[in-house]
Amino acid sequence: MKTWFVPYMKKHWRGLFLAACFSVAALLCAAGLLFTSGYLISRAALRPENILMIYVPIVGVRTFGIFRAVFQYASRLSGHDTILRILSEMRTRLYKMLEPTAFFFRSKYRTGDVLGILSDDIEHLQDIYLRTVIPGVSALMIYVLWIGLLGYVDVSFAFLTALYLLILLVVFPALSLLWSGRSHERLSRTRHLLYEKLTDAVLGAEDWMMSGRQKSFLSSHEVLESQVMVLERRLHAMRRWRDLISQVVIGVCVISMVYWTGSMAADHRMDRTLIAAFVLAVFTITESLVPVSEAVERYPQYKDAFKRLRTIETGRPADLQEEPPQAWKKTAERIDIRADHLFYRYGEDGRWAIHDVSLNIAQGQRVALIGRSGAGKSTLTHLIYGSLVPERGRVTLNGTPAHRIGSLMPKQISVLNQNPHLFDTSVINNLALGSENASEKEIMNAARLVGLHDLILSLPNGYETQMHETGDIFSGGEQERLALARILLRKAPVVILDEPTVGLDPTTEKELLSTIFRTLAGKTLIWITHHLVGAEKMDQVVFMEDGEIVMEGTHDRLLQTNSRYRRLYQLDVPEHLKQML
């Protein structure tokens, strides 16, 4: 909360305060509308000698009615403008926090978790201003003004009214927070179990059917669903009781106001035409305090949102807010990578994901990191990319620790993975993501180099053809080529190939590899793979197991000197595929 709420409150307090002031003005106009209406009705009932005696209240009713709508609109306009500015800054901050370490977050967090944070949590933080801060501040200001007005007339009655209204302003919100916090925790936990059960059922429906345990699943599902319904009913019941008691408190305030104004009129300390005016105004004043309980009730949701955002923020392994060295302000022409005795593990008591690994990669070298899943290939590339900091040892780019380069790293190292994301926009816009400064000619040239230019021209609208996020108009190999064109436009000297050929047929794989090696000539290639197809194209083959390098050298030397490598290559690359390569 200190990092995701307080700084924005300090920066945008003027806009929020202005919105609260407009909201208070709207409430005062609503109270003034009822006040003058009550006075007008009472005055008209006395049959005034002259119409001019009630002309001013008539004008007042119309004025308050008009300006109430004006101030409501102004409050929403200023409030939403300020809040949208805050959300824009929050989303920008979150994106800048995630984008440099996307390579790391993709392996640590599920996509759904990150999307949930980007949508739900940021939206919850929008509600904290719209539904909690502004209504809370407005209610407090109305409370102070109303008690101050009554205190000017009668201090004793003002003190009594202040106690009544504190029930709405303080007591009920505190009880709501206490109750909703416990209920929200239980409800969230039960819903999570229910969603897990449903997910397992949907993904494993066939297995459930084959095992004949449909009744077992349905019964367990019904138990969890009934628990959720019970908790939700309890929350709704609590809210209904709270609203009922709130109306009772409001009724007590109204009765007290009738008694007080009647006594004041009887003692000739107040004109009798003001009795209805004061009584009607009470409804608006008290109703403005009721939403505070609902506003405070949302705090557990805000707390969870703050917690998840904080987890993402503190979960970054490298301090990307640190200012990169001046030498890295622009893209380097060549990068020499050096890893010296690296050690890294996920958790203090976990096994070593990287154990005493040393590696030197000069500019322009092609290095294959080979090994089965969990061997440490991805962790090593994360260390090189700077999204992880080694526990021991160091990894440097041109002598600078990799994690110090921070947010400028994407300009130095590009990543081509097996699932490039294609956005729901035109083909040329998807290609232009590689470089915001690329001209149309440069974009088309990049597409021509990766063999997509003629295909794109054959589309209904050429480069302006719209495509869906799934990229259905392109095959898997063509999507990889599009991502490769982005990398060419970025002009980074180092490229990490994160198994871009997985899922492709042998012919497409061979063509894509040929295109990659041809178009990325002169760049440093770090190729993460779990098999040996294309290893003969690499300058260095690094075979990893259990976080250690167990084999290292050129493909030809390993074939000649290492029987295990030779056997693996024969098993992994059939004869017909060797001929294709």
Quick: pLDDT tens for 502-539: 767 777 777 777 888 888 888 898 988 877 777 888 89
Domains 6-314 and 326-580 share a fold: no
pLDDT digits 0-9 by tens, 422-466:
777 888 888 888 877 888 888 888 888 888 888 888 888 888 888
Domain ranges in the chain are: 6-314, 326-580
State residue 213's pLDDT score: 63
Q: What is the CATH architecture assignment of 326-580?
A: 3-Layer(aba) Sandwich (3.40)
Cβ(124)–Cβ(295) below 8 Å: no
Q: Which element (helix H / strand E) includes 356? A: strand 352-361
Please give the DSSP secondary-structure letter assigned to residue 466.
B
Residue count (the chain): 581
Largest CA distance in the chain: 119
Q: What six digits make up the tokens of 8?
A: 């924005």
C-alpha of 359 from chain center: 37
Instruction: Tell me what pLDDT residue 469 has.
Output: 58
Identify the CA nearest to 334 among candidates 197, 540, 491, 214: 491
* Range of weakest confidence among 157-166, 297-306, 532-541: 297-306
Q: What is the pLDDT of residue 65?
A: 92
Closest CA to 62 of 32, 39, 42: 32
pLDDT at residue 536 in the model: 83
| Cβ count near 177 (within 10 Å) | 16
pLDDT category of residue 81 using cuts at 50, 70 and 90: very high
Is 0.85 topped by the overall pTM?
A: no
Q: Regarding predicted confidence, which is higher, 533 or 547? A: 547
Q: Which segment, 49-58, 96-105, 342-351, is predicted with the most confidence on average? A: 342-351
**What per-residue confidence (pLDDT) applies to 261?**
92
Question: pLDDT category, 214, cuts 50, 70, 90?
Answer: low
* C-alpha 344, offset from chain centre: 29
CATH match for 6-314 among 1.20.1560.10, 3.30.830.10, 2.40.160.40, 1.20.1250.20:
1.20.1560.10
Is the Cβ–Cβ distance between 507 and 428 less than 8 Å?
A: no
Q: Which pLDDT belongs to residue 122?
A: 66
Average pLDDT over residues 562-580: 69
Mean pLDDT along residues 90-101: 66
551 contacts 562 by C-beta, under 8 angstroms: yes
Percent of the chain surpassing pLDDT 90: 20
Rounded-to-integer distance, Cα 491 and Cα 218, Å = 56
Per-residue pLDDT, 367: 92
Q: Is the pLDDT of residue 575 over 60?
A: no
Cα distance between residue 521 and residue 402, in whole Å:
24
